[in-house]
Amino acid sequence: MFGRGLTALSLFTALTLTTAFALVFFYAPNDADQGFIQKIFYVHVPMAIVALIGFVIGGWYGLKYLRKGDRADDLRSYVAIHLSLILGVGVLITGSIWAKAAWGHWWVWDEPTLVSFLIVFLLFACYQPLRFSIDDHERQARYAAVFAVVGGAFVPLNFMAVRLAESFVHPRLGTTGDSMPGSMRLTFLIAIIGMAALYATLWRYELASKNATFQLRALRRRLGGDEDSLPRRSAAPQVLS
């Protein structure tokens, strides 16, 4: 059900990422002020954009779960947020490296986007502890979905509030886009597509893997009688029905 087209998708991702890499190293211009290290922008920003969209997707599936009760939606919500958190760590690390290289500090509070991202990350980092602390599976799924919906709504609101507050040192994509030369724009575009494809591949992979585990467990249960073959506590969704 979930693993369809995984091979094709993986190949596409590999291809796009390799192209992006090549473009970054050989095609995109070196930044006049920041030098070579500015190229981390092609990793940092696409990662951030995809992670944030991932959080919102998690909220979307959370909403679907609340309305329909289909556990598959809960699983999708979990995977979306889970992957976005992993990307989020990458965003914060690459952002930090970029800050150090460009402005001499490992962290700067002047960029609204980076600070907003940190706040969103801190919020969603509570997702798994929250799930883990609720034993009953159905309640866990329901509460996680409520959290995902609230978190998803929080993302745009938070960015708006922080942006209003801080000075605009962090190059915003909009203005940068206007003054981006064609070579930069193309590289950036490919980088985003590559990152999105990576996310989609990991997403599909994790869903397929979890689904396989559930089916195996269900089979084992059916063969071995009505025994409890689940780990006692878990943050991840455990069943599909």
Mark residues 75-114: x for contact with other proteins by CB under 8 A, - for none.
Answer: ----------------------------------------
Q: How far apart are CA 94 and CA 98, in angstroms?
A: 6
The site that binds other proteins (CB under 8 A) totals a number of residues, namely 35
Stretch that binds other proteins, among 41-49, 122-130, 184-192, 202-210 (CB under 8 A): 122-130
Asked whether position 230 contacts other proteins by CB under 8 A, the answer is: yes
Largest CA distance in the chain: 69
Q: How far apart are CA 96 and CA 138, in angstroms?
A: 39
Phi/psi for 169 (5° steps) reads -85, -40
Asked whether position 160 contacts other proteins by CB under 8 A, the answer is: yes
Q: State which of residues 27, 107, 154, 214 lies at the interface with other proteins (CB under 8 A).
A: 154
> What SS3 class is residue 29?
coil
Packed helices 112-124 and 71-103: angle between N→C axes, nearest 10 degrees:
140
Q: Please provide the size of the chain in residues.
A: 241
Of 126 and 216, nearer to other proteins (C-beta) is 126
Q: State which of residues 29, 35, 135, 216 lies at the interface with other proteins (CB under 8 A).
A: 135
Q: How far apart are CA 121 and CA 111, in angstroms?
A: 15
Q: State which of residues 80, 108, 162, 184 lies at the interface with other proteins (CB under 8 A).
A: 162
Q: State which of residues 137, 193, 214, 236 lies at the interface with other proteins (CB under 8 A).
A: 137
Of 11 and 126, nearer to other proteins (C-beta) is 126
Q: How far apart are CA 184 and CA 1, in angstroms?
A: 39
Give me the least distance between CB of 29 and other proteins, in Å please: 36
Q: How far apart are CA 160 and CA 4, in angstroms?
A: 38
Beta bridge partners, 35, equal 31
Residues that bind other proteins (CB under 8 A): 66, 119-120, 122-123, 126, 129-130, 133-137, 139, 142-143, 145-147, 149-150, 153-154, 157-158, 160-162, 164-165, 226, 228, 230, 238-239
